[in-house]
Chain A
Amino acid sequence: MKTVADPRRDPVVDDRLHVFVPALMGVGMIVSGILVIADWITGMLPNGRVRRKQEIATGAKGVVVSVAQAAGHDVLGPDFRSREWRSRWAYLAGVLFSAGIGGVALLAGLLAYNDDAGLFYRNPWMVGLGVGTAAVVGLLGLQLLFFAVVYRRSFSAAHVLVETTWFGRLKPPPEEPAEFARSLHLIGREGNP
């Protein structure tokens, strides 16, 4: 009589070949490892929430404005896509980081140029690369130092740079709908109050 395998039999518990379980376990461990790394990387990455919130608030403002305009009014409200000053410590940290990177680049370039056993001995390109990197990073550091010194003082050029480039951080818009609504103000147009 032909024997038919019981489909309800659990392949995990009844692993008679002693191959399935170790293979499965190996795959499980690998996947677990990947998940741990993925979690770590995800945690490190800056999330895009603020930008998404800005887009949401800007889109919502557009809808509100269009409704108000249909009724002959206009709406005053903040620009939800703006940026703001980072903390002073962030600028100072940037200065230190730039100084470090610039110093290392300059030193490495010079050492490589003078290392008679090295590949780049007397190679002027290495000095140029080191000096160039140090100069660029140094300028960046100076800029950051400038921001740390003038921090939030009324200096228009600094404000423009902070509000329009990554020197400033994205400004979170109002989180709650009610708060968002309070930031908008109806104004008259075409003779309406």
Chain B
Amino acid sequence: MGRNLKVPVDYQYAQFLDGRGSVATDVGGKASSLDRLVADGFPVPRAAVIHARAYRAFVREAGLEPFLKELQHGPLPSADEIAADRTRVEAEFLEPEMSPELEDEMRALVGEFLSDGPIAVRSSATAEDMVTASFAGQYETFLGIRTAEEALVAVRRCWASLWSPQVRSYRRREHIAEDDLAMAVIIQSMARAIWAGVMFTRDPQGSALDIKVEAVPGLGDDLVSGRVTPHSFVIDRRSLAIRARGERSQLDFLEDLARLGRRIENRAGSPQDIEWAMTAGGLRVLQARPITVARPLAVHDDGFDTRGSGHDEHTPRGVSEMLPGVVPPLLWTINAPMLEDAFRSLFAKIGVPSAGVGRRVVGRFRGRATLNLSVLREAASALPGGSGEEVERQYLGHVLDHDHDHEVPEARGGVVARLMGAFRNWRANRLLADEVQLIRHAVHGIVQLDIDLGRLPAERLLRYRSRIRDLAWRIYATEVAASSAAAGAYRALEVQIGRWLGEDEGVQWAQRLTAGTLAESSVGAGRVNRLRMIYESHATGTPALQSALREGGSEPRARIEALGVRGLAFLEEVDHCVRGFGAQAVYAGRTWSEDMVGVWSQLSSFARKRDPAENGGDSLAELIGILKGSRRWQLKRVITGQLIDMRLRMLRRMVEEATLFLRCREDAKSSLLVLGGAERRAIFEMADRLVASGHLSFMGDVELLSDGELEQMLQGAEPVFGQELERRRRAVARARDAGPLPEVFQGDPDSVGPSEVPTGPVMQGWAASPGVARGKARVLGSLEAGTALEPGEIIVAHSTDPSWTPLFLVAGGIVLEEGGPLSHAAIVAREFGLPAVLNVSDATQAIATGEDLVVDGTTGAVRRIAQQQSAGEDRG
């Protein structure tokens, strides 16, 4: 075993894989992965690696560079030419003389292994075992080598396999750069296998909750090459029970093997494809690499999109505020697992842990986040009083017309089980407020620490980031739980008031009563208020500063700096304040400090426009006045002997509860974003180091890496090549161009045709914030475009997220294609007293910037003046 090796120090072109660390560009992906397995204490057979620089020295000395250039730039061979091409490449590597220095060293190295028995010689290319392209089975492996001569030939053949026709074809298909490719070679003692095979820690063809094992008696070579049919086993990841098996009833080491697989996956941070062997001495790991599923990528797929399950329905609604727009790979791989886990944790809490088992709740299509509506319906219908329709109403703002194929399955469990679930839910909600308080305190504490990340060694930096991430997982779970509780409490309030005053009144009063929710939250008004305080303390009595801000523009910093000491003091305070805001819209995403457009827009609005509306405060008193003024209400009170008016007491409690949970949700969201700012700093520090080490060309490219790739690259793993990054960049850009997803789709969003753009004079949507506003439309595709927004204009957009809050103070009204009663836009609009209509289909396509609109946030109507006039003329 590697740990017991005496490590020779005089090898120039080789090293033993003893877990002391290796440079991936020297040892290749496979050897680097083996070295990490050794370092983590996994049972790996004794191994060493001949560095890639030995390959480079050989190519240089043999004068192979022109030949390789020709392969690199020339056409790929046709099917008839492949065998000849392979022979030609092998001959080029087998014929030249090797320098005595290199040959002696390789003989000495293999000699150290051959004294213990036969060896395996395995390729380890510098472009191998990438997350998106594993090169599985593409390079050569030679088993049962018994002499040094055989070993030297095997090494040359491994080198040649770097340029075999099928590998060149694979690289071109995957757009992997061929510049500076090299091949390291692993020398490994042969494990005397009784059984051997491969194990997928997540079944690639089945459920992600299963481990799949394929085993053959003896060496696993025949299995890997596909020459024999293996015994297959499917093992439950959690219980380790065997769920499906092939002909053989049992192998007594399967449970240990599965456990080993789980440990390796936990260490690696991603699902693994593991080659293993069972020897007389126990289990051995021969290699482990990330699982990749070969599939053709759509032009707008950067490799991180979800494959639709075909039957499940997905919607972008409800998740687009957490993960807005096209989510780049880094943010997706950071956020999606946390959000998925948060939903799973919520399901467990409400007593339906089995809802949608094996199916993902959170998906990504055309780069945009979605929720699995089918799974959510299934979970909701298991609760007393819950239903799939309620889920649709909450996420979509209306109930879908279902055909029979999409019916929600019957809720599982009896009445008692469902009541128990409801009780657990109620109990968990009681603890939410405390959990949110703890989170807020902890996040403030962490941000205030202000640790100098630049001075941390890589290991500490990663550990620091991992601890921050632990807290983020917790906050995500709290936010999702608070959202669910808020939705339930809000709906109950709507229904209850609706019983007394009618359904429409119930909807409107629920909006008004919860309008003050964000008053202390930093997602919306709280953030605005802090900036306002700074503005007022500096700008009052300083007309020059007011004027500098009033002029607007995306970066008035220079004008303010020119004001001297007062301007600099103002800027310092603004910068300090904004730093504490954290990420703008998504955890670990762009921060307010990085992009000050929204902040300047907000500050300039103070110099131009009104205060936020005073809302919500007296609404409850007003409602109570209306209710008590009703004779029917008074009569019922007398008849039912209510010395204390229990209905009012219940109303107050329901309002308190809805407000509390909404505030919990917003506070959790706010804390997540602030913490996201701390993680963002760590990511930038990591990116800075990768740029310095030449692994990345630009800091911004870090967004195109997956979370695992970023972390592994910092630990010295193989970099993701520039060409691959370029491919992802193009895919992300195309996904942005492809526009928003359909409201609901099954399987592939592209299968849903474009909807007909409405042309009528009135567009109907969901009345989110009462009031009527008239103004010119401003169609906004992004926050950056918001700098053009003039005071009083109506914002028309697909959706908004917390980073848009500053625009709300300038706008006269809001029209969005997405959003429900509890969406951020709805809550902030009510906070600021802005009429808002949400869920207006295709508004951004139908309405043009500059068009006159009347937004009626009470009835949910958006009137297009020009169309109304022309319709009137037509009738006339």
User: Which residues of A approach B to under 8 Å, CB–CB?
Assistant: 12-13, 21, 24-29, 31-33, 35-36, 52-53, 55-57, 59-61, 63-64, 66-68, 70-73, 75, 177-178, 180-182, 184, 186, 192-193
Contact = CB atoms under 8 A, between A and B. Distances in A.
Determine which residue in A13, A64, A71 has the highest number of CB atoms from chain B within 10 A of its CB, and name it: A71
B648 to A, nearest CB: 12
B445 A184 contact: yes
Given A12-B639, A56-B434, A182 B448 contact: yes
A56 B438 contact: yes
B641 A28 contact: yes
B449 A177 contact: no
B464 interface: yes
Contacts of B463: 70-71
B441 A57 contact: yes
Given A32-B646, A67-B464, A70-B464, A25 B640 contact: yes
Given A25-B640, A27-B640, 20 more contacts: A31-B642, A32-B641, A32-B643, A35-B646, A53-B437, A56-B438, A56-B441, A60-B441, A63-B471, A64-B449, A67-B464, A67-B467, A67-B471, A70-B463, A71-B451, A71-B461, A72-B456, A177-B445, A181-B447, A184-B448
A177 B443 contact: yes
B613 interface: no
A24 B445 contact: no
Nearest to A36: B644
Interface in B623-674: 635-636, 638-644, 646, 649
A29 to B, nearest CB: 4
Contacts of B644: 32, 35-36
Contacts of A31: 642, 646
A61 B437 CA distance: 12
Interface of B: 434, 437-453, 455-456, 460-461, 463-464, 466-468, 471, 635-636, 638-644, 646, 649
B444 A67 contact: no
Nearest to A178: B444
B641 A25 contact: yes
A181 B674 CA distance: 14
A24 B441 contact: no
Given A21-B639, A28-B640, A73-B449, A64 B456 contact: no
Contacts of A177: 440-441, 443-445
Contacts of A26: 641
A186 B646 contact: no
A56 B639 CA distance: 46
A73 B649 CA distance: 51
Contact of B467 (A53, A60, A66, A181): A66
A29 B643 contact: yes
A156 to B, nearest CB: 31
21 contacts: A12-B639, A25-B638, A26-B641, A28-B643, A31-B642, A32-B641, A32-B643, A36-B643, A52-B434, A59-B442, A63-B445, A64-B446, A67-B446, A70-B460, A70-B463, A71-B451, A75-B445, A178-B444, A180-B441, A181-B447, A184-B449
Contacts of B461: 71
Contacts of A56: 434, 437-438, 441
Given A25-B641, A56-B437, A71-B464, A186 B451 contact: yes
Contacts of A60: 438-439, 441-442, 445
Given A56-B438, A64-B446, A70 B466 contact: yes
Contacts of B450: 186
A21 B641 CA distance: 9
Given A25-B640, A67-B446, A177-B443, A59 B438 contact: yes
A59 B640 CA distance: 47
B449 A67 contact: yes
Interface pairs A-B: 5 shortest CB-CB: A28-B641, A25-B641, A60-B441, A32-B643, A64-B445
A31 B444 CA distance: 45
B646 A63 contact: no
Nearest to B440: A177
Contacts of B442: 59-60, 63-64
A12 B642 CA distance: 14
A12 B464 contact: no
Contacts of A71: 451, 453, 456, 460-461, 463-464
